């Protein structure tokens, strides 16, 4: 069955003030953002089901670590499994904040356009890729015992994060999931740059973005509270959804 690429924008930040020092955050915290996104995703899943002969089987995949508090309310709303998919940015040692690519724990790679413009030996890219993949594998191991044993084949794979800046990690995650033959792949986040919409929609069957402010600063600027999410919080999210579904 073929699916067209559809972008769903729940709204634009009309109240966004361009001065970074004075603008109001879009979300109080990840929990509030997750609840708002859950309502939007649930509505789209209901519409999607109307086009099918039988209801789709959704699985929510959070990108650790910040994506899990966003993903939990969505999985709860859809009464479906909550899993993780781990992807890490590939960076150069001298520029740890500059992403030249991204790689998943199982080795699926996506390079940025900047890679071809960098005059460095291929061994540098290889080492950077290996380092990023090792980090992804180590993080995935932290969650392995709490993940649901479930395949996305034939399911609706919903990938969630707390926001998108460059789009590298969520794009490579979508590509990796696509290889496991789900019915469809959706990318769902509370906030992302408007200029990435076309790029993101090319990696999935549908995007659900609550806000696309312009200009776009770092994701953290759009939250009043944006603490670092610890591994224990991710594990708790996975456990809570598994226990909730078993009741």
Q: What is the pLDDT of residue 16?
A: 38
Residues 6+ apart with CB under 8 A from 16: 23, 26, 213, 214
Residues 6+ apart with CB under 8 A from 221: 20, 23, 25
* Cα(176)–Cα(160) distance, integer angstroms: 14
Helix (H) / strand (E) element for 225: namely none
Within a 10 A sphere around the Cβ of 37, how many other Cβ atoms?
27
What is the maximal distance between C-alpha atoms in the chain?
A: 57
Q: What is the pLDDT of residue 98?
A: 75
Cβ atoms of 112 and 101 within 8 Å: the answer is yes
Q: What is the pLDDT of residue 91?
A: 87
* Cα(88)–Cα(51) distance, integer angstroms: 35
Q: Three-state DSSP class for 165?
A: coil
* Cα(142)–Cα(185) distance, integer angstroms: 25
Q: What is the pLDDT of residue 95?
A: 75
Beta-strand pair 95-104/109-111: antiparallel
Which residues of the chain are under the pLDDT cut of 50? 1-5, 10-22
Q: What is the pLDDT of residue 13?
A: 42
Strand partners, 1: none
Residue found by looking up tokens 């109307």 in the block = 50
Q: What is the pLDDT of residue 14?
A: 39
Q: What is the pLDDT of residue 100?
A: 87
């Amino acid at each position: 069955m073929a699916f067209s690429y559809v972008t769903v924008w729940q709204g634009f930040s009309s109240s966004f003030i361009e001065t970074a020092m004075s603008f109001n955050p879009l979300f109080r915290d990840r929990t509030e953002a997750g609840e708002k996104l859950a309502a939007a995703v649930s509505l789209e899943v209901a519409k999607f089901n109307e086009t099918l002969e039988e209801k789709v089987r959704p699985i929510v995949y959070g990108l650790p670590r910040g994506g899990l508090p966003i993903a939990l309310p969505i999985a709860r709303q859809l009464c479906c499994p909550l899993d993780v998919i781990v992807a890490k940015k590939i960076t150069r040692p001298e520029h740890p904040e500059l992403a030249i690519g991204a790689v998943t724990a199982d080795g699926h790679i996506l390079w940025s356009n900047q890679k071809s413009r960098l005059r460095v030996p291929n061994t540098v890219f290889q080492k950077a890729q290996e380092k990023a993949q090792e980090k992804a594998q180590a993080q995935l191991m932290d969650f392995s015992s709490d993940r649901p044993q479930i395949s996305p084949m034939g399911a609706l794979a919903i990938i969630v994060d707390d926001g998108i800046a460059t789009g590298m990690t969520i794009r490579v995650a979508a590509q990796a999931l696509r290889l496991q033959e789900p019915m469809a792949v959706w990318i769902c986040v509370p906030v992302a740059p408007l200029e990435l919409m076309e790029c993101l929609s090319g990696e999935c069957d549908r995007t659900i973005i609550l806000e696309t402010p312009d200009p776009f600063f770092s994701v953290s600027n759009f939250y009043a509270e944006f603490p670092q999410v610890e591994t224990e919080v991710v594990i708790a999210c996975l456990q809570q959804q598994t226990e909730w579904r078993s009741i």
